[in-house]
Copies of this chain bind each other. A is one copy, B any other.
Amino acid sequence: MEKKQKTISVTGVGIKDVARLAGVSPATVSRALSGGPVSEALRAQVEAAVRASGYRPNLAARRLRSQHSGTVGLVVADIRNPFFTGLSRAVEDSAYQAGMRVILCNTDEDPQREALYLRLMQEERVSGLIFAPTRASMSTLDQSSFEFPVVLVDRAATGVPFDAVVLDNRAAAAQLVNHLVARGYRRIGGLFGKTSITGAERRDGYVGAMQRHGLESAYRLVAPTAEAAYAEAAAWFAEATRPQALVVSNSLLLVGVLKAARAAGLCMPADLALAGFDNDNWTELVEPGITVIEQPVDDIGRSAMGLLFERLQEPQRPLRRVVLSGRCIVRGSTAVLETAVTGAVPQEAER
């Protein structure tokens, strides 16, 4: 069983070998394998011949001939960022379910690598691309740069000429502010990443919500690393106007802020309340638990693949932008402020 019939071919057993074995033409083998119109008798012969020979179709040949790569590209900043880890898993699952492959690339937010990988996508003739662009490159892009559909994820300015799946970042940030206000906090600061559009949108949401509550915004922008957040937070905590509560725009920054708070000897939430984004493992495990906005990564990945498929079927359809909501997971880091002015009713509901 499973005897390896070494044929003359260097390449192993090909469709012609199977055809010979089954006593049919290569065309019939091809049809039988792709579910084409073949009589049951021949189909059975072909299947037997495939099993006997251990034949595996050559995908490079199939792609070249059929002009379908059956491949989608996924270009993100860094797979080690838990948001992208989850996203890539969701995209891969959707893709493999649809019988497609995924090519994953990490740009590290480097425009040069970004350009390199976009070029690669062209060379692979991907059927479509799911892309989380840097802010710089997003403005450069237009549809004519690509001969395949592109779906932006996570980062997409309103009005960009692409299908997109994003979180409602403004609403999510506002949700955190509302929650903090409801819990009695007033001097609420913000720390946002300055390189991605996501950080900017979350900042806008924060500023808007603070305004609606009649509170004064105080935010700072940092490079998207734990180290930068640590430095900025440490400096801030040393100032007289240190905030009572902090809204932080992603989990990397959150790590930096947490370490800075500990280094400064600040207790949560008594000395500092903390609220952020991404329901990473550690935000639950740390004491007293960090209040965060959880992003629906599975939905985001699935929706992105969905938009891609629909675009492939109907290239001329109007642009679509799927906006998903985050879920606020309340934990100990934003417990009710004990010195709260109980008379001050928040002007907006928590949700």
A239 at the interface (CB under 8 A from B): no
With a cutoff of 8 Å between Cβ atoms, the chain B residues found around residue A92 in the complex are 79, 104-106
A93 to B80, CA, bound (A): 13
Could you tell me the distance in whole angstroms from the C-beta of A332 to the nearest C-beta in chain B?
13
A61 to B59, CA, bound (A): 11
A-B contact pairs, 16 of them (CB 8 A): A12-B147, A56-B123, A57-B123, A59-B124, A85-B85, A92-B104, A92-B105, A101-B120, A102-B104, A255-B285, A280-B281, A280-B282, A281-B281, A285-B286, A286-B286, A286-B287
Could you tell me the distance in whole angstroms from the C-beta of A197 to the nearest C-beta in chain B?
24
A125 to B103, CA, bound (A): 16
With a cutoff of 8 Å between Cβ atoms, the chain B residues found around residue A80 in the complex are 85-86, 89
A60 to B126, CA, bound (A): 11
A263 to B80, CA, bound (A): 30
Nearest B residue (CB) for A12? B147
Pick the contact of A255: B120, B259, B281 (CB < 8 A): B281
Nearest B residue (CB) for A281? B282
* A contact residues, total (Cβ < 8 Å): 47
Could you tell me the distance in whole angstroms from the C-beta of A251 to the nearest C-beta in chain B?
9
Q: Mark A201-221, 1 if CB is under 8 A from B, else 0.
A: 000000000000000000000
Q: Decide yes or no: A60 and B125 within 8 Å by CB, A79-B85, A85-B85 being known contacts.
A: yes
With a cutoff of 8 Å between Cβ atoms, the chain B residues found around residue A96 in the complex are 105
With a cutoff of 8 Å between Cβ atoms, the chain B residues found around residue A86 in the complex are 80
The answer to whether A4 touches B144 (Cβ under 8 A) is yes
Question: For chain A residues 93-135, which have a beta carbon within 8 Å of chain B?
Answer: 93, 96, 101-106, 119-120, 122-125
Which of A19-27, A62-70, A163-171, A315-323 participates in binding chain B? A62-70
Nearest B residue (CB) for A116? B96
A11 at the interface (CB under 8 A from B): yes
